[in-house]
């Protein structure tokens, strides 16, 4: 399971440290946040204490209405849970009781000058990116006409050579060999490991730097995955779909990604076929159905053919 340290969050978002335990390294596993208004009101059933607690202006003003034992009891109870951190937004003054309870229970207490909505937006985006499920797979990722394509196939079948030809045609390389696949919200993102970024391995030549050869416009750091292209050796014993009416999908982190298989043999221009596959997918996403068009033409032809017989 992915995790991120509170210290990393502090440095990335430039948060002010009011109190932080020095002897432990606190890890965060949940990208969701909570504003503990109900807890300040005394309701602790189903308290999501495993999330970062955000104190905005509403919560701060409510704390000011609390007095004596009520304030101490409720704030103390919040900090008695193993919460990863409390962040006070808008640079607001922190109630002394909150500071006392943070030190008493050795919890992280932070502050930022950012408004509450901006803090939540930045924090959620940052945490979702870091905590998103990910895996590394073998393949090549390119962006073709705005479509993110993962090219797969056994070693030596021509994945990198196809990617090189596509880059020569003006498309962009995202990753070669080791592809980092990550799900963020409802998108699957592909990127490369830093050590292989912008590099492409071509058998017989070696490793080439796409940025140096073709310029920065020929590469991309990250790309949403839209299509999986499986390259396979042509087999006369296998039936290949010639109409393409039935869409194929592959599940990646429980999301269905369009998938096509392209048989490879001498004389076939794989780069051109990949380009057409990308354009075809874009056409479908705009509502065009070749199956409907084909059936329409077939019906018209049948009608004309019948009238001739009459």
Model pLDDT for residues 120-173, shown as the tens digit of each residue? 999 998 998 888 888 999 999 999 999 999 999 998 899 999 999 999 999 999
Return all residues near 299 (Cβ < 8 A) that are at least 6 apart.
Answer: none
Q: Tally DSSP H helices, then E strands, for the chain.
A: 10, 17
> d(Cα 178, Cα 6) in Å, to the nearest integer?
29
C-alpha distances (whole Å) from 224 to each of 150, 228, 253, 294 are 10, 12, 13, 31
What's residue 61's pLDDT? Answer: 94
For residue 45, what are its two tokens?
């059933």
Judge contact between 242 and 272, C-beta under 8 A.
no
For residue 200, what are its two tokens?
């492409």
> Which of 126, 117, 78, 129 has its CA nearest to residue 101?
78
What's residue 22's pLDDT? Answer: 80
> d(Cα 172, Cα 164) in Å, to the nearest integer?
9
> d(Cα 231, Cα 261) in Å, to the nearest integer?
6
What's residue 273's pLDDT? Answer: 94
Query: Quick count: other Cβ atoms within 10 Å of Cβ 280?
Result: 17
What is the set of active-site residues? Answer: 138, 159, 177, 242
For the chain, list the domains and their CATH numbers: 4-130 (3.40.1390.20), 133-292 (3.40.50.300)
274-285 per-position pLDDT tens digit: 999 999 999 888
What sections of the chain are H helices per DSSP?
A: 6-13, 37-40, 57-65, 68-80, 96-105, 116-131, 159-168, 210-214, 270-285, 290-309
Tell how strand 227-233 and strand 147-152 pair up: parallel
Regions of the chain short of the pLDDT cut 70: 1, 23-24, 240-245, 304-310
> Which of 169, 179, 274 has its CA nearest to residue 214?
169
Judge contact between 40 and 63, C-beta under 8 A.
yes
> d(Cα 75, Cα 63) in Å, to the nearest integer?
9
Identify the bridge partners of residue 143 per DSSP, sorted by sequence position.
148, 172
DSSP state of 50: T
C-alpha distances (whole Å) from 211 to each of 66, 133, 197, 265, 289 are 61, 29, 10, 30, 38
What's residue 67's pLDDT? Answer: 87
What three-state secondary structure class fits 51?
Answer: coil
What's residue 278's pLDDT? Answer: 95
């Amino acid at each position: 399971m992915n995790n991120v340290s509170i210290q990393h969050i502090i440095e990335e978002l430039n948060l002010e440290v009011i109190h932080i335990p020095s002897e432990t390294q606190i890890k965060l596993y949940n990208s969701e946040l909570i504003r503990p208004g109900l807890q300040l009101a005394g309701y602790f059933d189903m308290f999501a204490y495993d999330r970062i607690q955000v104190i905005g202006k509403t919560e701060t003003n409510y704390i000011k209405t609390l007095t004596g034992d009520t304030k101490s009891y409720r704030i103390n109870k919040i900090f008695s849970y193993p919460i990863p951190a409390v962040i006070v937004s808008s640079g607001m003054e922190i109630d002394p009781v909150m500071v006392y309870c943070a030190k008493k229970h050795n919890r992280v207490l932070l502050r930022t000058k950012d408004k509450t909505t901006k803090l939540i937006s930045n924090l959620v985006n940052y945490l979702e990116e870091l905590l998103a499920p990910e895996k590394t797979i073998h393949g090549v990722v390119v962006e073709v006409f705005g479509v993110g394509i993962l090219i797969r196939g056994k070693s030596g079948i021509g994945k990198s050579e196809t990617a090189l030809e596509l880059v020569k045609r003006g498309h962009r390389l995202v990753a070669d060999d080791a592809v980092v696949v990550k799900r963020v919200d409802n998108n699957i993102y592909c990127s490369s490991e830093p050590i292989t970024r912008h590099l492409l391995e071509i058998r017989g030549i070696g490793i080439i730097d796409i940025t140096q050869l073709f310029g920065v416009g020929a590469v991309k750091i990250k790309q949403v995955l839209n299509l999986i292209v499986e390259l396979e050796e042509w087999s006369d014993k296998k039936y290949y779909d010639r109409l393409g009416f039935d869409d194929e999908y592959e599940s990646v982190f429980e999301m269905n990604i369009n998938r096509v298989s392209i048989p490879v043999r001498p004389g076939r221009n794989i780069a051109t076929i990949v380009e057409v596959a990308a354009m075809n997918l874009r056409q479908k996403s705009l509502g065009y159905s070749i199956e409907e068009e084909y059936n329409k033409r077939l019906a018209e032809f049948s009608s004309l053919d019948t009238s001739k017989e009459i």
